[in-house]
Amino acid sequence: MTLSVTLDTPPDEVYAYIVDPRNLPVWAAGLAPSVELRGGAWCIDTPSGPWTIAFAEHNAFRVADHVVTQPDGTRQLNPMRVLPNGLGSEVTFTVFRGEVSTDEEWASLQHTIQADLDALGPALQRRTHPPV
């Protein structure tokens, strides 16, 4: 399933903000209430232990795919794109059902991701530093 949000911010600014892991706690609290660089990897502390997150290399297509790795080595690819939409942007995030076993868990996961996407606009507006 692909979820999305439309933003008034130019796509290059949105992309730069999204792929900077330091910004995750601001807009993606559902995934990363905190993030820290440890041993060259960006780590997210979760109830199941530390997860790592790695974004695709910086690219002109604004592909913000990222892989989250759990402590047991399970890796989850999260396809994400920032697309031009008029003077603003459309951010898309594809989520796979994967290991989610119940319909309630699946609905909750979708809700969490959409809430994170919806937080992007306000987070971008609150920036007190130049775009990253």
Count of residues in the chain: 132
Residue 78 and residue 65 in contact, taking contact as beta carbons nearer than 8 Å: yes
Amino acid at 105: E
| Predicted structure pTM score | 0.90
90: region left, alpha or beta (phi > 0 left; psi from -120 to 50 alpha): beta
Structure tokens that stand for 118 in this block: 């919806």
HSE on the CB side for 23, CA within 13 Å? Answer: 25
Residues 22, 35: Cα–Cα separation, whole Å: 7
pLDDT at position 128, please? 56
Among 16, 17, 11, which Cα is nearest to 119's? 17
Q: In order of start, what are the domains of the chain with their CATH numbers?
A: 2-126 (3.30.530.20)
Kindly tell me if the per-residue pLDDT of 130 is higher than 60: no
Kindly tell me if the per-residue pLDDT of 119 is higher than 90: yes
Amino acid at 1: M
List, for residues 54-104, the tens digit of each pLDDT value. Answer: 999 999 999 999 999 999 999 999 999 999 999 999 999 999 988 777 999
What percent of the chain stands above pLDDT 70? 96
Using a 10 angstrom Cβ sphere, with 0-12 exposed, 13-18 middle and 19 or more buried, the burial of residue 90 is middle
